[in-house]
Structure 1
C-alpha cells in the first residue's frame, strides 16, 4: 500500500526551490574536479570503474496520493530539459522524477484551494494556451515550408551583389565651413600630420582616433563622400573640400581592396530565417 504524500511547509519550500532552479539536472551537467596527479608514477593497474546502473523508467514513474505520473509525462519533461542539461543519466532521471512528484503535490494543493477557478489564473492559462497554439502553428508552417536551396541561393546573390566591388580605408577631418577645410588642407600641404590635425580640428566622433573611418564600401557613405573617395589616389588627401549634409570634409585615402562578401555557408542560416520570417508575415 502506497504511503500518502503530504505537502508540509519544509517540503513546499524545497519543492519551490527545486522548481525555480530548474531541478538538480543542471548540476548534473558539471564535471567533478580532477583528482591531483600523484608525485611519482604508480606501477599498478588502476581499477576499472563499474558501469553506471541504467535507470529503467517505469510506467507510471510515480504515484502521488493515488494520482499516477505517466511515463509519457516524464519523457515530455525530459525532452524539454534536454537542451539545457543532461537527462540521460540515472541521477538526472531520478532527479526529474523527484521534480515531478513535487510538482504533482503542488498541483494537488492548488486543486484543494480551487485555484483553477480564480479569474486571474484562468486569464493566465488562456494566455499560455493561445501562445502555445500560435507557436505550434508556426513550427508546423516552418517545417512544412522550408526554403528551397534555389531560393536561398537567389537571395544570397541578391544580398551580396551590393557587397562586391571596392572597399576603402580612409580618415577624414570634418569642419563646419569651407574656409576651415581649406585651412586644414593648407596645413597638410606644409607637412602637417593628418591624424594630429583631426584630433584638434575635426568635429566628428572619429577625431579621437585621428579621423580613422576604417574599411567601408561606397554604399555605406553619403554619395558626395563616396564619389570623392572613389576618385582619389591611395596615400593622398583631398586637395579640395568635400561638402556633405554633415559639413565640410578633408579626406585621406589610406588603402583600397577588392570587397569579398561572406560565403553562402556563412549567410545561409540568416537567409533561411529571413525567408521563413517573410513567409510567416
Structure 2
C-alpha cells in the first residue's frame, strides 16, 4: 500500500498520540499485558529452534497470553494465590529466577579467556597421553583363578575363548574387548598393567582393582587422536564457566552464617 501525504501524516499523528497503546499487547479487565512479553517469548522460541518470527507466531502467543491472564485473574479471584502450596511454589520459582540471573551476570562479568581455554586443552592432552591402546581383559574373583588363566594362555589357550568366563559380562562374549582407549580412561592400576606390554602380550601377573583380578592383553597401539582446539572450544569454555560459577557458589556458602 502507498500512503498519500495526507494519510501518512494522519498515521504518524495517530502513532505519536497513542504511545501507551503501542507498549501493551492487550488490556484484560483493566490489567495491561506488555508487548515486551511477546518479544521475549518470540526470542526464546526462535533461539530454541521452535519457530520463526512471524505474524502467525506472534498472534498465537498473544492469544495464549491473554488466555493465561484471564485464568490468572480468575485464580486470584478464587484465592489460589493464597494457598500454602501455591505460595511455596511461587517462592521457589522466584528464588530460581533471581539466582539464575545472578549466575548469568557472574559469568558475564567473569568471562572465560582464550588463554584459560588453551591451558585447559593442553592440560587435557597431557593427562590423556599421546597414545591409544586396544586392550582386552578377563575379570576374575580371585588371584588364584587369574593365575590359572594366565597359565592356560601361556600353554597355548586362546585369550578370546578364556574371556567367556570373565565376570565382566559386558565384554565376555566379545573376547574381553575394551576397544581403543587412552590410559587415563582406566583406573591407574589397570592402566599400569598394559602400558608396558608389547603388542600381543598378556600380563605375567594378575592386575588387582576394586572390581577383582584382571588378566590383560594388549592387541595394538596407535597415536591418540585429538580434536582441534577450535572444535572443542565451546565445550571447554562452558565447562570452565560452570567451574567458575561453582567456585563462586562455594565461596559464598563458606562466608554465610549457617546455623
Query: Pick from 70, 83, 91: which aligns with 2:56?
Result: 91
Residue of structure 2 in register with 1:236 after alignment: 201
SS at match of 2:137: strand
Residue of structure 2 in register with 1:22 after alignment: none
SS at match of 1:162: helix
Q: Residue 194 and residue 78 in structure 1: after superposition, are their counterparts in 2 closer, same or farther (change >3 A)? A: same
Q: Distance in 2 between matches of 1:189 and 1:121?
A: 71
Residue of structure 2 in register with 1:81 after alignment: 45
- Residue-by-residue CA offset, 1:60-98 (whole Å, 9 max, x unaligned): 333333444332233233333333432522222211121
Residue of structure 2 in register with 1:72 after alignment: 36
Compute the displacement of 1:268 (Å). 2.0
Q: Residue 78 and residue 235 in structure 1: after superposition, are their counterparts in 2 closer, same or farther (change >3 A)? A: same
Compute the displacement of 1:207 (Å). 1.9
SS at match of 1:261: coil
- Residue-by-residue CA offset, 1:120-162 (whole Å, 9 max, x unaligned): 4333322222221111111111122211111111122112211
Compute the displacement of 1:222 (Å). 4.4
RMSD: 2.8
The answer to whether the 8 A contact 1:170-1:251 is kept is yes
The answer to whether the 8 A contact 1:241-1:248 is kept is no
The answer to whether the 8 A contact 2:133-2:221 is kept is yes
Gaps of 5+ in 2: 1-20, 247-259
The answer to whether the 8 A contact 2:193-2:207 is kept is no
Residue of structure 1 in register with 2:255 after alignment: none
- Does 2:152 match 1:203? no
The answer to whether the 8 A contact 1:171-1:253 is kept is yes
TM-score (norm 1): 0.67
Q: Distance in 1 between matches of 2:202 and 2:132?
A: 17
Q: 1:50-199 counterparts in 2 under 5 A?
A: 59-84=23-48, 85-177=50-142, 180-199=145-164
SS at match of 1:121: helix
Compute the displacement of 1:108 (Å). 2.4
- Residue-by-residue CA offset, 1:202-261 (whole Å, 9 max, x unaligned): 3333322212122233334445543342332212334x3334245544332210112233
- Does 2:228 match 1:263? yes
Q: How many matched pairs?
A: 223
Q: Residue 191 and residue 102 in structure 1: after superposition, are their counterparts in 2 closer, same or farther (change >3 A)? A: same
Q: Residue 242 and residue 119 in structure 1: after superposition, are their counterparts in 2 closer, same or farther (change >3 A)? A: closer
Q: Distance in 1 between matches of 2:143 and 2:34?
A: 80
Q: Distance in 2 between matches of 1:221 and 1:188?
A: 24
SS at match of 2:225: coil
Structure with greater helix share of residues: 2
